[in-house]
């Protein structure tokens, strides 16, 4: 089981921050912090090179060669799966994905 470097693009970090801000604005600061921590831990699990996720079926991501994985059934993580690196490119609500 090899580990690859994980790179997270700025737009993904901003999206996670926006979701955390919303959760915190609902009066749940601990839940917001836990959401951020768990999301970044999940991204680290993608570095395992023995696990391969499906190619994205969303046309825009499919054309870019992204792989997709669901996170907590509510979000979709789109990433580039390279031999020595994983690049997390997008993190969106699953409701926004139209295939």
Reported as a single tens digit per residue, the pLDDT across 2-55 is 688 999 999 999 999 999 999 999 999 999 999 999 999 999 999 887 878 888
The SS3 of residue 4 is coil
pLDDT score for 48:
85
Reply yes or no on whether the pLDDT at 1 is more than 60: no
Q: Which CATH number fits domain 5-96: 3.30.2310.20, 3.10.20.30, 3.40.640.10, 3.40.50.620?
A: 3.30.2310.20
The reported pLDDT for the residue numbered 3 is 82
Domain ranges, ordered by start, for the chain? 5-96
How far is CA 84 from each of CA 16, 65, 90, rounded to the nearest angstrom? Answer: 25, 16, 19
pLDDT value at residue 88: 96
Q: What is the pTM of this model?
A: 0.87
Tokens of 32: 């917001």
């Amino acid at each position: 089981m090899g580990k690859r470097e994980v790179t997270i693009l700025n737009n993904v970090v901003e999206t996670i921050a926006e979701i955390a801000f919303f959760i915190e604005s609902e009066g749940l600061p601990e839940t917001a912090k836990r959401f951020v921590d768990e999301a970044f831990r999940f991204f680290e699990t993608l570095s395992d090179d023995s696990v391969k996720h499906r190619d994205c079926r969303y046309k825009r991501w499919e054309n870019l060669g992204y792989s997709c994985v669901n996170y907590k059934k509510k979000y979709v993580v789109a990433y580039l799966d390279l031999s020595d690196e994983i690049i997390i490119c997008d993190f969106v609500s699953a409701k926004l994905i139209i295939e």
